[in-house]
Amino acid sequence: MASTPSASEVRRAKFTRRLPAELSELAGPAHGIVGLPLHMAWSGLTHFDLDQPRLRMSFYRITLAEGMHDDLVQYLNQDLLVSMWSVLRTLISRDIRDAWESAFPELAHHAQAVA
């Protein structure tokens, strides 16, 4: 009899299904004010100035947690994600972090190199 997956395994699988095939697919904006749709930013701010570090971090936290595959590709920027990862990885859930770092080991390696 197959065992029932844990809640963490279910969440990790959900986030893994949303991932792009490669980080290079992340072609979102790197600067300026960006608005997120209500299915992602359903509570609080919906517009974020990516030139403001705190707002950029909030934007990325929300997008990683709430975005579907097409949202991730549209709103995340590969260079920003990699440069922010060492801090961002401490602000997101373990399930999101594990899904991204399992799929893209370069994120974990970059975070270790910066630390």
Query: Considering the entire predicted model, what is its pTM?
Result: 0.90
Per-residue confidence band for 115, with pLDDT thresholds at 50, 70 and 90: low
Name every residue whose Cβ is closer than 8 Å to that of residue 94 and which is 6 or more positions away in sequence. Answer: 8
C-alpha triplet 23, 70, 22: angle, nearest 5°:
15
Domain ranges of the chain: 30-42+50-114
Summarize pLDDT for 54-106 with one digit per residue, the tens.
Answer: 999 999 999 999 999 999 999 999 999 999 999 999 999 999 999 999 999 99
100 membership: H or E segment, kind and range: helix 94-103
